[in-house]
Chain A
Amino acid sequence: MSLKSSKLQLNDQGQLRHFLGIDGLSRELLTEILDTADSFLEVGERAIKKVPLLRGKTVCNVFFENSTRTRSTFELAAKRLSADVLNLDVQTSSTSKGETLYDTLRNLEAMAADMFIVRHGDSGAAHFIAGNVCPDVAIINAGDGNHAHPTQAMLDMLTIRRHQAPFEQLSVAIVGDILHSRVARSNMEALRILGCPDIRVIAPRTLLPEGIEQYGVRVFNDLRVGLRDVDVVIMLRLQKERMQSGLLPSEGEFYRQYGLTSDSLALARPDALVMHPGPINRGVEIESAVADGAQSVILNQVTYGIAVRMAVMSMAMAGQTTQRQSRQGAV
């Protein structure tokens, strides 16, 4: 399925009104998200970590798939924008009573929700909602299937921008289960748009999707070759359930070949950043000493994630607002 985000997520003035995916967005827009996030980062350091921007707005976390951490950072981001937050664990509520996705969301819309943060196991769920169910509610994709996790990508970009040289000068390696990773996809797109000249993916053949070359990346099957002289290493979480599927020989074997250890990290540049979207599996894809080491910015990523989500939420809400204004003006 082709999921073109560009048209759907922008309003008539080219501003963000949903945030569904990275593809099709301009470098200017991604940079605006990062700049806005920088300002929100400063808000997080104040005595009162709150701005009144979304006061009186209602934000619904609609998670069809579990994710405590992503959900709590979205919740915190919304609260720091002064929005009211409703958390819906849809898995355990109406869907089990047979209510369809469509009906669940239309009901929430009737409760005057202004924004849905959607996590769903199916690729394209957020697009479907933005396109067909509630176009006037700002939809933020918090991860859909193997497809996209755009706010994770933007927080990774913010991390790189704050801790490394400009994107145009960087070599970035993404390591691990690329096949099942929506984070990897969104990151490859964001890096390309922001002008990163050397994007590498490092994975066993069984964990690489077909047509990976379309992302403009260099593919490596050998970690020790791929990591050479990179400025940034983005590790992906190895999901245990993949082990059972026969795609991998064993956990120990994967760690030996693709685990980021002090030894393999030494092949990268001395100031290379170590990143991971979390939660980390110590001793499965990353050595503890590396995860906790001086080059690790894994916990900074969490902090930046709140600021990026505040930026995207306020920009999308603004885009919906101006869209409504211009439509009323046109009548």
Chain B
Amino acid sequence: MSDTPDVEVLIERMGQELAAWLDRTTRPDPAIVGIHTGGAWIAERLRDRFLPDAPLGTLDITFYRDDFEQIGLQPGVRPSELPFSVDGRHLVLVDDVLMTGRTIRAALNELFDYGRPASVTLVTLVDIESRELPIRADILGTSMKLATGQRIKLTGPEPLRLTLTHTAES
């Protein structure tokens, strides 16, 4: 089993880049939205350390997934919570692992059902380079190429750790 990067180190660097990015692109007064579950953990840390005034929300994209016809409804859905108005707001959308891009597609659709944000900045911890949609992160922790049958998962919330596993199938 190979080593995985230290998540806290990645978050520290992402936070600095994010603050600089928001400044450079003139996106004041942002709100942070973490995708349930891993993204929400990272979002909370980014808020606490780098954007203490930003309101924090969580998104559960279960109702927006594109694979209902294949796998049905995933159990364990939780209510999305966006305790602020999305209209005209600069949003920072946070996810743990960027894989196909389908989760982000679903998250964007869901966000737009809350209103019309001024912008959306995408922050992801890991990109495993298997995108199926034209979606890439604005702020990225790290890229990793996984071997066949390998999967990566963020466990947490304390401590946050990236874990590589091998699945028998595929």
User: A: which residues have CB within 8 A of B?
Assistant: 15, 32, 35-36, 38-43, 46-48, 50-53, 314-315, 317-319, 321-322, 325
Contact = CB atoms under 8 A, between A and B. Distances in A.
B114 A46 contact: yes
Contact of A47 (B70, B81, B109, B114): B114
Contacts of A318: 68, 72-73
Given A35-B77, A36-B77, A39-B63, A46 B68 contact: no
Contacts of B70: 321, 325
B89 to A, nearest CB: 13
Contacts of A314: 63, 73
14 contacts: A38-B78, A39-B62, A39-B77, A43-B63, A47-B113, A47-B115, A48-B113, A51-B110, A51-B113, A52-B63, A314-B63, A315-B73, A318-B73, A321-B72
B53 interface: no
A53 B72 contact: no
B37 interface: no
Nearest to A49: B113
Contacts of B87: 47
Contact of A321 (B62, B69, B76, B110): B69
B79 A53 contact: no
A53 B77 contact: no
A70 B11 CA distance: 50
Contact of A53 (B68, B71, B80, B115): B68
Q: Which 5 A-B pairs have the closest CB atoms?
A: A318-B72, A318-B73, A42-B79, A51-B63, A48-B113
A53 B78 CA distance: 15
Given A39-B80, A50-B113, A15 B72 contact: yes
Given A48-B113, A321-B68, A325-B70, A42 B63 contact: no
B109 A52 contact: yes
A32 B77 CA distance: 9
Contacts of B73: 36, 53, 314-315, 317-318
Nearest to B70: A325
Interface in B107-136: 109-110, 112-115
B69 A39 contact: no
A249 B66 CA distance: 59
B88 interface: no
Contacts of A315: 73
A82 B114 CA distance: 16
A322 B73 CA distance: 9
Given A52-B63, A321-B69, A42 B81 contact: yes
B162 to A, nearest CB: 28
A32 B73 CA distance: 11
B79 A39 contact: yes
B77 to A, nearest CB: 5
B95 to A, nearest CB: 19
Contacts of A51: 63-64, 110, 113
A41 B110 CA distance: 15
Given A39-B60, A39-B77, A321-B70, 6 more contacts: A32-B75, A35-B76, A35-B78, A51-B110, A52-B109, A321-B72
A42 B113 contact: no
Nearest to B110: A51
B106 to A, nearest CB: 9
B109 A322 contact: no
B72 to A, nearest CB: 3
